[in-house]
Amino acid sequence: MFSEKDFISKPFSTIIEEGNFQWSAPSNIALVKYWGKKENQIPANPSISFTLNHCKTITKLAFAKKQNDNNFSFDLLFEGKTKDDFKPKIQKFLERIEIYCPYLKDYHFTIDTENTFPHSSGIASSASGMAALAMNIMSLEKALSRNFGTEMTDHFFNQKASFLARLGSGSACRSIKGSVVVWGNHAEVNGSSDLFGVEFSSKIHDNFKNYQDTILLVDKGEKQVSSTVGHDLMHNHPFAEQRFAQAHENLSAIKKVLENGDLTEFIKIVESEALTLHAMMMTSIPYFILMKPNTLEIINKIWKFRNETNIPICFTLDAGANVHILYPENVRVDVMQFITTELVGYCQNGNYICDAIGTGAIKFI
């Protein structure tokens, strides 16, 4: 089990002059939600997520050795164009990880990033973006280590990448490796940690292989409340401790479900978790509602369709209005017909995204 100290890189006397790496990393959708955090991006409760396949960020990191001016130096491009709006978040991220990656100030970086899903589509890009950047940084560290005569293991590479990604965006640590990922200490999950995400260690039942996620874009606007503000509101929340205990119980329950393939129980846990997340927002001080009228219309349509057809379709929600519809691959034709005939009208401009379970980050170069 790695600790924070294990991730502190030793200084490298041999420096690589220049180069570049390129990685893609996917977004993910939590089944048991993380809401509330402690200092240094430590989760108040454990979470478990499906890794997505198509909704991803592709990031190229070019680097060139510079004179040590003791400052971080980087240019940021989004879809090939300068994007200064994103620079403060990257600056803060680099400051957070400097102790673990002291070589970063030796280089000027050009970070060129793009998403496979439309910008402002309502899909959280912070998880995929920070995960992709962390993988590139670890590729540089691996190259420096090799140059220094040390070979880095894949296990350490992925765990440190997840650790670094977490410091940029908490849920980003679940976008590194694996189709089902657990983040946060949990008694029944081997190797689980608050510091990084770990692959679900048990064998996943065939019912969940290539599970589908169709994302209905109800509202593509900016969030009314940032995730950081929302998490902070859990500190004095009247139901916080009960919620954290519930998350532990639901993770235990969904662990069994992923092993035994019980879709009825899966639906119950996942939908309850989605509604609980929004209930915590509605009962915090200040309180807020991120669901839209069309979110509720879609949920009611899903319940009606499931009751009438017995097709195991369910919904989950992030901290926003959009609806993720989860279902097995073998009912895809029926579910897509339902979506296109009855649900698309509730989406902004009729927009939705078809995705499925993926396996994590992929290296290009």
* Cα separation, 213 vs 354, whole angstroms: 6
**pLDDT for the residue 120:** 58
**pLDDT for the residue 160:** 98
Note whether 232 and 277 are same-domain residues: yes
Domain assignment present for 246: yes
Percent of the chain scored above 90 by pLDDT?
87
Give the C-alpha distances (Å, rounded to integers) separating 138 from 7, 143, 163: 11, 8, 11
- Phi and psi at 192, nearest 5°, equal -65, 150
Which positions of the chain have pLDDT values less than 50?
A: none
Note whether 188 and 219 are same-domain residues: no
Domain assignment present for 361: no
Domain assignment present for 365: no
31: Cβ contacts below 8 Å, ≥ 6 apart: 48, 49, 50, 254, 269, 270, 273, 316
Give the C-alpha distances (Å, rounded to integers) separating 326 from 128, 165, 184, 270, 311: 20, 26, 23, 9, 11
pLDDT tens-place string over residues 322-333: 999 999 999 999
Instruction: State the first-to-last Cα distance of the chain, in angstroms, to the nearest integer.
Output: 29
* Cα separation, 123 vs 54, whole angstroms: 12
Domain assignment present for 362: no
Domain count, the chain: 2
Note whether 111 and 214 are same-domain residues: no
Note whether 64 and 174 are same-domain residues: yes
Note whether 196 and 266 are same-domain residues: no
Task: Look at residues 130, 281, 277 and name the one whose alpha carbon lies nearest to residue 197.
Answer: 130
pLDDT tens-place string over residues 155-186: 999 999 999 999 999 999 999 999 999 999 99
Domain assignment present for 299: yes
pLDDT tens-place string over residues 230-280: 999 999 999 999 999 999 999 999 999 999 999 999 999 999 999 999 999
Task: Write down which residue in 200, 223, 258 finishes a domain.
Answer: 200
Give the C-alpha distances (Å, rounded to integers) separating 220 from 186, 288, 317, 348: 34, 18, 14, 7
* Cα separation, 242 vs 36, whole angstroms: 12
**pLDDT for the residue 58:** 97
Note whether 178 and 222 are same-domain residues: no
Domain assignment present for 252: yes
Question: Reduced to 3 DSSP states, what percent helix, strand and coil does the chain have, rounded to the nearest 5?
Answer: 45, 25, 35
Collapse the DSSP code of 273 into the 3-class scheme (helix H, G, I; strand E, B; otherwise coil) and give the result: helix
Enclosing domain of residue 30: 4-200
- Chain centroid to Cα 138, Å, comes to 18
CATH number at 267 reads: 3.30.70.890
CATH number at 23 reads: 3.30.230.10
Give the C-alpha distances (Å, rounded to integers) separating 273 from 33, 47, 162, 193, 247: 6, 10, 24, 21, 8
**pLDDT for the residue 221:** 72
CB–CB of 316/48 below 8 Å? no
